[in-house]
Amino acid sequence: MKPHQPIFLYKKISWFIFILLGLMSLASCAQNAAYPEDKKREALRIKANPEMALVYLYRVKNFVNGGVNMEITLDGEFIGKVQEGFFHLELQPGWHEFQATFGPFVRKQRIQLERGKIYFLRLETEADYTDFNSHMRFNFERIGNRNFALNELQELPMLQVGGTEPNDNMMQNTFANSKEDRAAKNFKANEQKATLYIYRGKETFPNIEVAINQSYLGRLYLGYFVVQMEPGEYSLEASRGWMIDELKINMQKGEVYFIEVSTYLFFLNGHWLHWNVIDRQDVAKKEIQNLELLEIGGEPDHLEDYKQSPQFAMPRFLLSSDKDKTLN
């Protein structure tokens, strides 16, 4: 990996940088295009199809990051970007999963839709300034008062579905399947090897590239990796552009290690990135229970920074088939 770049220590004014990031996002991208007013009026006449379910997914303008786009997906398919507006969606009855993403922040909402019913889903945002990371929180809120929802929708543009795909900076490795995730959360030790959990919870920056001894594991913004390796000393590397942090760790066989990679809105000891070895395993396990396991692999932004030969794979006890999953 490249050595740390020279940087200066700024005041730890996290809220200022948080607002600055929001303004930068506002200047760099726009939400989906709006339909003409006549099409909007037609959509708000609320004509339910007796064979389908009708969903109005919307976001009102808000002081807290109101100018920042959220990227919306439905059942894994990209719908579009929204700052202020609504999507008019006619869907098949059954279970569906909505996901809203802003940088590293992700919220999901699973909902069972019934034939002939109408649903109003509102995105709520608020800032959390309880610590130096200045996290943003947002959630889907099901609006049961139809008149209240319609009054809000009247003031919003109706947005077209589709558009530019999500920013790659906000993407990470593919999630493993649920069977592997459950197995990993047993936190099983291997008597002959060291087991390592690398995770990232609520954060304020886009994805981070993670490597062990310059062998690429993948991109991470919300989730965790787990690997098993021979005992010995290893170098963990986390990078995001010019921001790099390295951790040397000596791992023993039969032991389980939990290491968090964190990002900060201020320089901590001269770094934006920071590896945090978690001594209290109960704390780490509780945090990981709320995250999802990621597959290992993919291609880094700067391939020349990494070794070409794969060295790490998901532990055998996690694999759902006999085919070994190694690095690409």
Residue after which a domain boundary falls, among 113, 133, 164: 164
Q: How many residues does the chain have?
A: 328
Q: Which run of H or E residues covers position 146?
A: helix 146-154
50 and 143 in a single domain? The answer is: yes
194 and 263 in a single domain? The answer is: yes
| Residue 3 belongs to some domain of the structure | no
301 and 192 in a single domain? The answer is: yes
50 and 158 in a single domain? The answer is: yes
Structure tokens at 170: 């906000």
200 and 314 in a single domain? The answer is: yes
Residue whose tokens read 């919870």: 201
136 and 271 in a single domain? The answer is: no
146 and 179 in a single domain? The answer is: no
- Structure confidence by residue, pLDDT tens digits, 85-134: 999 999 999 999 998 876 556 778 889 999 999 999 988 776 554 443 44
| Residue 225 belongs to some domain of the structure | yes
156 and 188 in a single domain? The answer is: no
CB atoms within 10 A of CB 214: 13
| Residue 326 belongs to some domain of the structure | no
Residue 21 pLDDT: 47
| For residues 279-302, average pLDDT | 87
- Structure confidence by residue, pLDDT tens digits, 164-190: 655 555 567 788 888 899 999 999 999
- Return the bridge partners of 78, or none: 73
> Does pTM surpass 0.85?
no
Number of domains making up the chain? 2
Residue 16 scores a pLDDT above 70? no
Residue after which a domain boundary falls, among 118, 139, 164: 164
Least confident of 138-147, 237-246, 312-321: 312-321
| Residue 1 belongs to some domain of the structure | no
| Residue 7 belongs to some domain of the structure | no
24 and 160 in a single domain? The answer is: yes
| Residue 138 belongs to some domain of the structure | yes
Which segments within 40-168 are labelled E, that is strand? 53-59, 70-74, 77-82, 85-91, 94-102, 105-113, 118-128, 135-142
Residue 37 scores a pLDDT above 50? yes
Q: Which residue range is the domain that position 290 belongs to? A: 172-318
| For residues 259-282, average pLDDT | 73
Residue after which a domain boundary falls, among 132, 164, 196: 164
What's the sign of the alpha-carbon dihedral 83, 88, 92, 95?
A: positive
| Percent residues over pLDDT 70 in the chain | 68
144 and 184 in a single domain? The answer is: no
Mean pLDDT of the chain: 76
| Residue 327 belongs to some domain of the structure | no
277 and 188 in a single domain? The answer is: yes
| For residues 230-251, average pLDDT | 88
Radius of gyration of the chain (CA): 22
| Residue 4 belongs to some domain of the structure | no
CB atoms within 10 A of CB 218: 24
Between CA 253 and CA 230 the distance in angstroms is 7
177 and 312 in a single domain? The answer is: yes
Between CA 283 and CA 42 the distance in angstroms is 52
Residue 5 pLDDT: 37
Least confident of 28-42, 134-148, 216-230, 231-245: 134-148
